[in-house]
Amino acid sequence: MNILDKIVIDKRKEVELRKSVIPIYQLETSVLFERDTNSLTNRLRESKSGIIAEHKRRSPSKSVINQNLNVQDVAKGYENAGVCGMSVLTDGKYFGGSLDDLLVARASCDLPLLRKEFIIDKYQIIEAKAYGADVILLIAAILSRDEIKQFSELAKQLNLDVLLEVHNEEELHKSIMPSLDMLGVNNRNLKTFEVSLETSKQLSQLIPNDFVKVSESGISLVEAIKTLQPYDYRGFLIGENFMKTDNPGASATGFINELES
């Protein structure tokens, strides 16, 4: 059983528990449930850099990345750096994140916020909206075509953008549908954790131009982005590269300045 399978098994138990503690109607009465969302898709279309910067404390592939920073400082730093959006890990067991991180980020900046999570239930989409997210992530590797359709259509009803993540051609073909906004290509093989930008290059021509293309994982150098821009990528998700420094905001600022110079 690979790491993704383990995460999904644990996530199903976690979501059942959350549902029993906070029912859907309670989520729908949250103050943030009524707020107007910020479109990450639009930001990426208009941006020169396309950086989506992540808040991530640890991961199964790297163990601890950075446990010492508070989300408020990271969010403000990213906003000042001029990133297009911020990705917030909300998985606790494997990534050290929480929904509270999303709330704090929301209170600290006006960036479009992506709830980075293993979504396997509609409940988590309503939860994302209630905790201040603007975008949800759907992972094709763990969802059927029917689930992708149901989840993405619910997200659109809630005015949330949808980023769908694929790892290969098979996942891409089963996933393409009008209720998605962005198609993300994850350069990391989730079974081996090896990273290759060739994945983004190969899949780029198979993604229709209606969708904003996002490349994820393994992007730590400005050269990587310059290599992928000719393949029509508008978004670049960068996690560990900024988070492994003492000041992710300053790190992002330097990165964007170098990219745009």
Q: Which residues contact 5 (CB under 8 A, 6 or more apart)?
A: none
E strand or H helix at 162: strand 161-166
Domain extent listing, the chain? 3-260
Q: Which residues contact 1 (CB under 8 A, 6 or more apart)?
A: none
- Helix H segments across the chain? 3-21, 24-28, 40-46, 71-81, 99-108, 122-130, 145-157, 169-175, 198-204, 222-228, 240-243, 248-260
CA distance 122 to 127: 9
pTM, two decimals, is 0.96
SS3 113: strand
Residue 41 near residue 73 (C-beta atoms within 8 A): no
pLDDT of residue 122: 98
Residue 173 near residue 208 (C-beta atoms within 8 A): no
Across the chain, which has 261 residues, the per-10-residue mean pLDDT values are 91 98 97 97 97 92 80 98 98 96 98 98 98 98 98 98 97 97 92 87 96 95 96 95 95 97 88
Domain 3-260 belongs in CATH node 3.20.20.70: yes
pLDDT of residue 87: 98
Which single residue is written with the structure tokens 């969010």? Answer: 75
CA distance 109 to 207: 32
Task: Give the catalytic positions in this structure.
Answer: 54, 56, 116, 165, 186, 216-217
pLDDT of residue 190: 72
Q: Which two three-digit tokens encode residue 184? A: 């993300």
Query: Which residue, among 49, 79, 111, has the nearest Cα to 250 in the 3D structure?
Result: 79
pLDDT of residue 60: 80
